[in-house]
């Protein structure tokens, strides 16, 4: 198994975090690599509570990109679990993978388990309407 950057995309409540954490656990148990899960949502966690602030979403994504680069530089495989509704949202991660000359792998989650962050169904429906399929 070689170091890689893995993107897990899907709507809120589709199972992204669960899949990303299972992948990291598998990589750690079955290879000599360290694996780290990065999510923009982690930016909003404070003292074990999730406190989403819509005006900080861009900062959260920049932070997630920086965390990804930091862990890749340390030699980890990184699994990024974000919605990535539109394909351009993966552009920075594609560039990071190229910078580190490592494979980029993309998985999609299509489950419907309910949003653990309380994302309203109307927001999920808007995201679904904007969804872009991989080429």
Q: What is the pLDDT of residues 11-44, one digit of tens each?
A: 999 999 999 999 999 999 999 999 999 999 999 9
In the predicted structure, residue 135 carries a pLDDT above the cut 80: no
Angle, in degrees to the nearest 10, between helices 91-99 and 57-73: 20
pLDDT recorded at residue 114:
77
Question: According to the model, what pLDDT value does residue 30 have?
Answer: 95
Q: Which of 37-46, 49-58, 65-74, 121-130 has the highest mean pLDDT?
A: 65-74
> What pLDDT digit, counting tens, does each position of 75-132 carry?
999 999 999 999 999 999 999 999 999 999 999 999 888 777 778 889 899 999 999 9
pLDDT at 117: 76
CATH, domain range 5-130: 3.40.50.300
Domain chopping of the chain, boundaries: 5-130
pLDDT of 48 higher than 90: no
Q: Is the dihedral of CA 36, 41, 46, 50 positive or negative?
A: negative
Closest CA to 33 of 69, 64, 5: 5
Q: Which residue bears the tokens 């954490």? A: 21
Nearest alpha-carbon partner for 50 in 62, 42, 61, 58: 42
Mean pLDDT within 50-65: 94
Mean pLDDT of the chain: 94
């Amino acid at each position: 198994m070689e170091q890689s950057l893995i993107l897990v995309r899907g709507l809120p409540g589709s199972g992204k975090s669960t899949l990303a954490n299972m992948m990291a656990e598998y990589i750690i148990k079955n290879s000599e690599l360290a694996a780290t899960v990065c999510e923009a949502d982690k930016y909003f966690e404070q003292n074990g509570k999730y406190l989403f602030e819509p005006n900080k979403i861009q900062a959260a994504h920049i932070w997630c990109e920086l965390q990804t680069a930091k862990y890749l530089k340390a030699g980890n495989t990184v699994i990024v679990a974000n919605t990535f509704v539109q394909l351009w949202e993966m552009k920075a991660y594609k560039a990071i993978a190229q910078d580190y000359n490592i494979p980029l792998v993309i998985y999609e989650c299509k489950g419907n388990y309910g949003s653990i962050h309380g994302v309203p169904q109307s927001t999920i429906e808007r995201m679904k309407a904007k969804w872009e399929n991989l080429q």
